[in-house]
Structure 1
Amino acid sequence: MVRFAILGSFEIFNESGVCELTAPKLRQVLALLLVRRNQLVTLETVVEELWGADPPKSAQTTAQTYIYQLRKTIESEGLAPDSRELLVTRPSGYMLRVEPTELDLFVFDEEVKSGRRLLEVGRLQEAARQLRDALALWTGPPLAGVNRGPLLEAYAAHLQEQRLYTLELRIKADMLLGRDRELIGELRSLVAAHPFNEWFHGQLIMALSRAGRRNEALDVFHSLRHVLDNELGLLPSPEIQEIHQNVLLVGKGPAGG
């Protein structure tokens, strides 16, 4: 079975195992066709990805050569099972025809949709498990090992945002399940990696407060306020300030409350 992986190291698998596609430009063209899977990609789009806004005079001819070489590789490596035409040429461009089970991104998208629906209807255990499975498909930064022009660079940033969104959904499910203490270490790591992400800070503040670690929760708030003020000249959002007030109110409650 043919499989393509872009959620981490860019890899191609055929019936024999890993397909070694080492030529950088061929990897870049294939990656572009994969992220635009089942859509027409014009020759001009390929040129833009490979050379940006300043292509050489021979760019279109060279890009067509890369497409030809990619087609030959698809044939020689058996990447088109059952004689299916994987790379289709149209008068105005090219299309890579990929089935849902052949691309990890397809699987990720479906699992995230399912997890979000489960979360919306309150099936928290199933939602957390489904979202955890989706995140497990990631092996590192997207499209690792591929030279990225302007189009792939933008798409990689989009994929990173999708991963963060999914991570937020999974953490939300775990918080609703009362797994506050279990999340503290992970949230501390996320706050360190994303110092301007107020949502992660807010979850950490709440998790610490619910675990009875009120002083640490307040320290996280003050650290965030300091970073936002020094680096961006901003105050914490109203949502974070409300979380902060709630922590203060808990501290004024009955002992042990």
Structure 2
Amino acid sequence: MDIDVLGTLAVREQGVSITPTAPKPRQVLALLALNADKVVPVATLTEELWGARPPRSARPTLQTYILQLRELINGALRQDGGDGQRSAKDVLLTVPSGYLLKGGTGSSDVREFERLAGTGYRAMDAEDYPEAAARLREALALWTGPALADVHAGVHLETQIRRLEESRLCALDQRIEADLRLGRHRELLAELTVLVSRYPSHESLCGQYMVALYRSGRRGEALNAYQRLRATLVRTLGLEPSPVLAKLQQSILMSGPAGAPSAVGAPATGRFAQVG
């Protein structure tokens, strides 16, 4: 089974789509697909679909959605021209506590994203920045939009979507860091301008933006970026920027005009690529 969730939901059995069009069966399939080869309890599926106060008909209605998914799976198995030994119940299993969708040896964009990102992180640790940038860029290219963009999300899918988004942001942060280490600050400016607007309280992105601006001869804009972040953090969270970011700001503030012969060092933690 092939499962794609990093964008719109697409699930295929033997190359044939089994993704339903109706919203609630899509929601059920999305939760089963994100937990492929794991049991998803009936209680979890019920809470996902109806929240804390499910209707009395919740159990039979859920069974109807499972039946609809199995009909799509059976259609895919027949269309594939299989030997008839496998049925939908072999792919979408009923177990004592819930249901289990068998992923088998098919592809998963989440699994591939995690593999590529992991390779990129290990390259970062080894200071192999070209390899890190390449692998993390490959990982991020698997995202075609927000995770499960076309699926209504209840409490459990929302949690999974937030986890995936955090993983994406982490990979993006490290890919930008690798690019900064490779001296690609000018190429990063347009991307970082969009990102700091989209995530106005994200300190790491702001720090990377400040470094890229400073290296591009835009010292004043780098200092302004820090002040905007500080104002946002104080207004929304009542917090000051982290010591690492404050030290970066002080480094830029004390550096004089960009392009001065003496380079400005990175903060002691080494979180950001060297400024100068």
TM-score normalised by L of structure 1: 0.91
Whole-Å separation in 2 of the counterparts to 1:62 and 1:75 = 20
Whole-Å separation in 1 of the counterparts to 2:261 and 2:111 = 48
* Aligned pairs for 1:111-130 within 5 A: 111-130=116-135
Which runs of 5 or more residues in structure 1 are unaligned?
none
Whole-Å separation in 2 of the counterparts to 1:102 and 1:59 = 32
Residue 98 of structure 1 is matched in structure 2 by 103
Q: Helix, strand or coil for the counterpart of 2:54?
A: coil
Counterpart AA for 1:134: A
Is 1:167 the equivalent of 2:166?
no
Bigger proportion of residues as helix = 1
- Measured on the aligned residues, the alpha-carbon RMSD in Å equals 2.3
Residue 33 of structure 1 is matched in structure 2 by 32
Deviation per CA, 1:224-254, whole angstroms, max 9, x where unpaired? 2222223333222111110011102211799
Over 3 Å counting, the alpha-carbon distance change for 1:18 and 1:93 in structure 2 is closer
Q: Which moved more, 1:12-21 or 1:43-52?
A: 12-21
Check whether the contact 1:87–1:95 (CA below 8 A) recurs between aligned residues.
yes
Identity %: 43
Over 3 Å counting, the alpha-carbon distance change for 1:207 and 1:179 in structure 2 is same
Whole-Å separation in 1 of the counterparts to 2:43 and 2:113 = 29
Whole-Å separation in 2 of the counterparts to 1:155 and 1:111 = 20
Pick the aligned partner of 1:197 from 194, 202, 207: 202
Counterpart AA for 2:237: L
How many correspondences in the alignment?
256
Check whether the contact 2:23–2:151 (CA below 8 A) recurs between aligned residues.
yes
Residue 45 of structure 2 is matched in structure 1 by 46
Whole-Å separation in 2 of the counterparts to 1:49 and 1:256 = 59
Residue 68 of structure 2 is matched in structure 1 by 69
Whole-Å separation in 2 of the counterparts to 1:196 and 1:255 = 30
Residue 6 of structure 1 is matched in structure 2 by 5
Check whether the contact 1:14–1:79 (CA below 8 A) recurs between aligned residues.
no
Residue 188 of structure 2 is matched in structure 1 by 183
Residue 226 of structure 1 is matched in structure 2 by 231
Is 1:143 the equivalent of 2:159?
no
